[in-house]
Structure 1
Amino acid sequence: MSTAQTGFGNVAGRTSRQPWWRDAVVYQIYPRSFADANGDGMGDLAGISAKLPYLKNLGVDALWLSPFYASPQADAGYDVADYRAVDPLFGSLADFDGLLARAHELGLKLIVDLVPNHTSDEHVWFRQARTAAPGSPERARYIFRDGRGRGGAQPPNNWQSVFGGSAWTRLAGPDGRPGQWYLHLFDTRQPDLNWDNPEVRAEIVSVLRFWLDRGVDGFRVDVAHGLVKAAGLPDWSARSAMVAGSALDNRENPVPAAPPYFDQDGVHEIFRQWHRVLAEYPGDRMMVAEAWVEPAERLFAYVRPDEMQQAFNFGYLLAGWDAVRMSRSIDESLLAAATVGAPGTWVLSNHDTVRHTSRFGLSDPTSYPKGIGAEDEQPDEELGLARARTAALVMLALPGSAYIYQGEELGLPEHTTLPAEARQDPSFFRTGGAERGRDGSRVPLPWRAADRGYGWGSSRHAPWLPQPASFARYAADRQVGVDGSTYEFYRHALRLRAGHGLGHGSLVWSDAHNPAAGILSYHNHSLLVLANMGKGPVPLPAGYRVVLASGPGTADGGVLAADAAVWLLPNGS
């Protein structure tokens, strides 16, 4: 019997010595698509506040809010114009304070997004930089360079934007003639900050303190691995991919695994400074890194004891529906986490990925498409949902912390037939539509099946992204309190997870574990997880009773159906 353990002990339940984030189930809220209180078609903070009882009933421990800051919304708020202001689209600072207070009253922690790699081009700093001279303090806050070639007409290097196209844009000088270039690893309207500049470092620490002083419990750090660029900005002949992180395959011209603008060692001193800032505040404040870093050892460097507390496990997300890949990712992650005393941080979907309910319904359920359009293969919706519920049972029994993306608890699929004219993701436009983009995972949630926009908008305002007709059957009012619904399935799983202290347990692969045959099985405390990712039914173990199955009828007659999972406890327990 092989084993993999977290090293956090085997006492069920959280103790007073264990910070809340070590086993927290965190629910990601994409504010523009969660709930619309004022009927303008855009989600808002008041809408989130109104739905907090829904989330408390679900059984999550914390909420993570994607950006709600003042922004021109060129990249759905990840282009921040003012880090200390709420965009009027979402409400006001008073609305935020009310949301935070209400969440705390309900016992929910609140994490906010921090976007430190870049600002909006409408941030006051960049507006000053546009009109400042080369070499000025204003331009030193960003990464400006002279161009190459005759008259500086070529970009300073060959870096490509994660969203497609060149990572450089040229500005005109005061006389109207072409001038310097500025770096943007993402959209043209998201200029990268220069983290070699002490003024930049001091400003973001001030931003941290602003939100900590208001009472937030932590930060999700966007592009945490991208703040520091290699000295000299050397050429790099490939393009990095969103979430996957590693270089795209380039067999004719091999390139290093990590580009010179990601995962540079210098980022760690930044996070050590931030760690010291958070330590000044009570209540186990935390940070979670969005870091597309490989291998696992490099990722877990971000969560050493004096840096961040968590890092998203994108290797696990990218394993797809495959028992061998999933099992290997679990082993590698728990081993790497144990070396630094960090918890595993598990995730299946987020706002940057095709929802796993749809990925798992593709003919290749390990594939990772950059969005799905009407012209592409359409997922098997029923199969994808069955597999998604199975994957949820595998993930939610793992030791450590888990993240749920909004709508996952409803079983929402990707919107795979969005018309081109409705799309808003800059990656769609910068790649000429070659990448369908992330809009399909960001469609507003369905709350009431019979209402216009499924509970969104008003007679004058439709939802900011159109919803597919299929969303009616996934609406929350058809699931909350309904036996067998995906919402109630998640609620039951989270209650069992908390009651059995699974987040603070240890994983031991069971005798039934056989990834090559599609069987993934492990013990955590007294709970036995059995997931059948193979082609045919498998027998249930003797001496155990089923306490939760991934779907109705999947564990009848002493066998477990394919594409299904169960949680089991010993008879008599």
Structure 2
Amino acid sequence: MFKSPISYKPDEELFSPITKHTNEQDPLWYKHAVLYEVHVRAFCDSNEDGKGDFQGLAEKIPYLRKLGVTCLWLLPFFDSPLKDDGYDIRDYYKVHPDFGDIDDFKWFLKVAHSNGLRVVIELIMNHTSDQHFWFQESKKDKIDKVTGEINKYRDYYVWNKDDNRYLGTRIIFIDTEKSNWSYDEQRGEYYWHRFFSHQPDLNYDNEDVEKEMIEVARYWLKLGVDGFRADAVPYLYEREGTSNENLPETHQFFKRLRAIMDKEYPGTILLSEANQLPKEASQYFGVGDEFHLSFNFPVMPRLFIALRKQDRTPIVEVMNQTPDIPQNCQWVIFLRNHDELTLEMVSPEDRDYMWAEFAKDIRMRCNLGIRRRLFPLLDGHRQEVELLNALLLSLPGSPVIYYGDEIGMGDNVYLGDRNGVRTPMQWSIDRNGGFSRADPPLLYLPINSDPLYGYQSVNVEQQERLKYSFLNWMRSIIQVRQKHKGSLVFCNPECNIHILSFLRILPYSPFPSTNIVPSSEVIAPMQSNTIVNEETLIGPSLTRQLI
């Protein structure tokens, strides 16, 4: 039986305006943040051209504030040919014209900060687009035949006369790339790329490249962003005889960048995207002098495995394998994001199990992962979705919510690459789901219109009117998390692997002599109850009772 949900009126203290002084006064703000990952072009179109933009995103800030998230993580919005959804940058200093211009970005940032929301943007340092000025110049002769000047960009990328170097390096995009080398006709040599062939890797052994990228970071920090999610960090350097991942030189570079940020822009943060096991990923924290945050990738697939097998073991094992980290650092965890649900960090047996259980249709698979959104991934079972979100907001780390997942948006497996999980936000039953007034063929991707997850059935406007909608449940549980911050200790009964139990240890306690907190949790996958109120927090299969 449902009880009345708690009020989801945001705590005003959480949403006081963000200024430079705010970050300096609360330098550990990221440790208790709830992040919201959003693609500018997918959220709201203000000028009716079929693509979301910064003006549209600014208009929706009140919605995001009401949701209860505290930090926006923006996917790439830089000038780009968009062959990889913006991760192929043509100019680091320009906003893609689809999204507006630099003044539109500044306005959005001002609106977000004035509403108490911090903003983290992408810092794509490993590679650029092959259309970037640097790469175009890199292909030219070492000495300009007309001016006689030395071509400073000649070594901005990793070139070789043949493709026989670094042979032990794995290929990441196995669905599309057969080699990490591609041949360039103009230069007559091969260039190195860890991702798509149109994304050549920068050469960080060239000091000029490091200086260029640090200046890129300074530019956006000066504008007022609160930090960066650094993309593909393990791959910056190459050394023969290694896997070309997680090299010492990479850590040294990011420590230099961190030192600059701490000195010049205190309170801003670096978030590492290193798809590695916890032991390797934790190295990116350094001794608290490298990254502030790092994704704990292996947690995510194990949540799904544990749920489907009704066995706590995968969760307990991965948490036990997660090492202690410096006090000024934090893990970041998530259920879904803009990429495929990666299965790189699970065993081949678990990978086959995940594919068999969650991606029976081959079109749902991408590289070593699954390209599906959360609700369809779980066959639309709201109680299972609530259970996983309850875990997401309870386990150690700062959680990320992917745009649209708070209303249960679906995917479109018929779209190429990972675009099936990047469709327009569904605001209402209006034209194009309220995302845009443009003619439907002009949309950057078609709005989801299938009977189960289409905008006619799943949209913000409808769920805001329904007291027990999934959106209102998400608002409630996020508020509970924000009110009761603490650490977690497992206390699992040996006799029953179907139960995951843990204590939530808060910094305060009604029992000073024990300093133990206020709540105990039992997760029993076979049960299904959904209640959210001040006395009990129950996700389907999750019970948290005050003691």
TM-score (norm 2): 0.80
1:361 & 1:488 partners in 2: Cα distance?
Answer: 30
CA distance in 1, matches of 2:439, 2:91: 32
Q: Are the equivalent residues in 1 in contact too, given 2:492–2:500 (CA < 8 A)?
A: no
CA apart distance, 1:200: 0.6
Q: Match of 2:443? A: 463
In the TM superposition, what is the alpha-carbon distance from 1:118 to its structure 2 partner?
A: 0.2
**Equivalent residue number for residue 313 of structure 2:** 324
Query: CA offsets per residue over residues 399-418 of structure 1, 9 Å max, x none?
Result: 431111111211223333x2
Mapped contact 1:522–1:529 kept (Cα < 8 A):
yes
Matched, 1:187 2:174: no
Task: Tell me which residue corresponds to 1:532.
Answer: 524
Q: In 1, are the aligned partners of 2:303 and 2:388 still within 8 Å (CA)?
A: no
Which of 123, 133, 138 does residue 129 from structure 1 map onto?
138
Hey, what's the Cα distance between the residues in 1 that align with 2:433 and 2:359? Answer: 32
SS of structure 1 residue aligned to 2:94? strand
Matching residue's letter, 1:390: L
Question: What is the distance in 2 between the residues matched to 1:279 and 1:545?
Answer: 39
1:510-561 deviation line (CA, Å, top 9, x unaligned): 465877224344333313333222x4579x9xxx9853333xxx5xxxxxxx
Name the counterpart of 2:379: 381
Counterpart of 1:85 in structure 2 is 94
Q: CA RMSD in A?
A: 3.2
Out of 155, 158, 170, the position equivalent to 2:183 is 170
Paired residue secondary structure (2:220): helix
1:449 and 1:513 map into 2 onto residues whose CA distance is 50
Question: 1:23-172, aligned counterparts within 5 Å?
Answer: 23-133=32-142, 137-147=152-162, 157=167, 159=169, 161-163=171-173, 164-172=177-185
- Residues 379 and 490 of structure 1, relative CA distance in 2, 3 Å threshold: closer
Cα contact 1:33–1:444 (8 A) shared by 2: yes
* 1:443 to 2:443 alignment: no
Long gaps (5+) in structure 2 = 1-12, 15-21, 144-149, 307-311, 344-351, 507-517
Contact residue 510 and residue 523 of structure 1 kept, 8 A: no
- How many pairs are equivalent? 477
Contact 1:398 1:524 in 2 (8 A): no
What CA distance in whole angstroms lies between the structure 1 residues aligned with 2:396 and 2:182? Answer: 45
Give the direction of change, closer, same or farther, for the CA distance of 1:363–1:121 in structure 2 (3 Å limit).
closer
1:486 — aligned with what? 470
Other structure's SS at 1:523 match: strand
Name the residue aligned to 1:415. 412
Q: 1:509 aligns with which of 475, 480, 490?
A: 490
TM norm structure 1: 0.76
Does the 8 Å contact 2:492/2:501 carry over to 1? no
What corresponds to 1:344 in structure 2? 331
After superposition, what is the alpha-carbon deviation per residue over 1:132-179, rounded to whole angstroms, capped at 9, x for unaligned?
34996423110000016xxxxx788475642232221111246xxxx1
Q: d(CA) in 2 for partners of 1:132 and 1:380? A: 55
- 8 A Cα contact 1:316 1:346, kept in partner: yes
> SS of 2:135's equivalent?
helix
**What per-residue deviation string (whole Å, max 9, x for no partner) do you get for residues 16-35 of structure 1?**
66611111111111222122
Which amino acid in structure 1 is aligned with residue 270 of structure 2?
A: M
Q: Distance in 1 between matches of 2:503 and 2:475?
A: 22
Match runs of 1:160-559 below 5 Å: 161-163=171-173, 164-173=177-186, 179-230=188-239, 232=240, 234=241, 260-294=243-277, 296-304=278-286, 305-321=288-304, 322=306, 323-333=312-322, 336-338=323-325, 342-354=329-341, 364=357, 369-370=365-366, 381-383=379-381, 385-416=382-413, 418=414, 422-423=415-416, 425=417, 438-459=418-439, 461-466=441-446, 467-469=448-450, 470-472=453-455, 473-500=457-484, 502=485, 505-510=486-491, 516-525=497-506, 526-533=518-525, 535=526, 547-550=536-539
Q: Is the 8 A contact 1:155 1:168 kept in 2?
A: no
Q: Are residues 515 and 260 of structure 1, via their aligned partners in 2, closer, same or farther at CA, if it must alter by over 3 Å?
A: farther
Partner-residue secondary structure (3-state), 1:493? helix
Distance 2:254 2:495 in 1: 40
> 1:378-399: per-residue Cα shift (whole Å, max 9, x none)?
855222x422211111121234
- SS, match of residue 36 in structure 2: strand
Q: Quick one: higher RCO (CA 8 Å, sep 6+), 1 or 2?
A: 1
How has the CA–CA distance of structure 1 residues 362 and 518 changed in structure 2, closer, same or farther, with 3 Å as cutoff?
farther
> For structure 1, which segment, 63-72 or 161-170, has the greater mean C-alpha deviation from structure 2 after superposition?
161-170
C-alpha distance in structure 2 between counterparts of 1:97 and 1:185, whole Å: 33
CA distance in 2, matches of 1:49, 1:468: 26
**Displacement, 1:301?**
1.1
Bigger shift: 42-51 or 203-212?
42-51
Contact kept, 8 Å, 2:89 with 2:128, in 1: the verdict is yes
Separation in 1, partners of 2:431, 2:114: 30
Correspondence for 1:8: none
TM-fit CA distance, 1:107: 0.6
Cα 1:411–1:530, aligned 2, differ >3 Å: closer, same or farther?
A: farther
User: Displacement, 1:331?
Assistant: 3.1
Q: Give the match for residue 430 of structure 1.
A: none
Contact 2:340 2:370 (8 Å CA) reproduced: no
CA distance in 1, matches of 2:494, 2:395: 15
Letter in 1 for 2:284: Y
Secondary structure in 1 aligned to 2:190?
Answer: strand
Identity, in percent, stands at 27
Q: Secondary structure at the match of 1:122?
A: coil
SS in 2 for 1:195: coil
Secondary structure of the corresponding residue to residue 139 of structure 1: coil
The superposition leaves residues 420-477 of structure 1 with CA deviations (integer Å, 9 ceiling, x where unpaired) of xx42x3xxxxxxxxxxxx1221111111124334533523644322224222222111
Partner AA of 2:172 in structure 1: V
221-230 or 165-174, larger mean C-alpha shift: 165-174
Contact kept, 8 Å, 2:301 with 2:342, in 1: the verdict is: no
Bigger drift between 50-59 and 444-453 goes to 444-453
Q: 1:382 to 1:157 in 2, by over 3 A?
A: closer
1:558 maps to which residue?
Answer: none
Unpaired segments of 5 or more residues in structure 1? 1-12, 149-153, 235-258, 426-437, 555-563
Cα distance in 2 for residues equivalent to 1:211 and 1:507: 36
Offset at residue 363 of structure 1 (A): 5.9
What does residue 560 of structure 1 align with? none
Residue identity matched to 2:445: L
Q: Residue 170 of structure 1 contacts residue 181 of structure 1 at CA under 8 Å; is this kept in 2?
A: yes
Q: Aligned partners of 2:389, 2:64: CA distance in 1, in Å?
A: 17
CA contact (8 A) 1:69 1:82 kept: yes
- Structure 1 pair 167–34 and aligned structure 2 pair: CA distance change class (3 A): same
* 1:344 to 1:518, Cα distance in 2 relative to 1, 3 A: same
Question: Quick one: distance in 2 between partners of 1:361 and 1:484?
Answer: 31
Post-superposition Cα deviations, 1:285-342, rounded to whole Å, max 9, x if no partner, equal 0010000122x12111111311010001101112132022122223333xx1335652
- Given that residues 320 and 365 in structure 1 are in contact (C-alpha distance below 8 angstroms), is that contact kept between their aligned partners in structure 2? no
The 3 A distance-change label for structure 1 pair 545 and 64 is closer
User: Taking structure 1 as reference, are residues 329 and 155 closer, same or farther at Cα in structure 2, changes over 3 Å only?
Assistant: closer
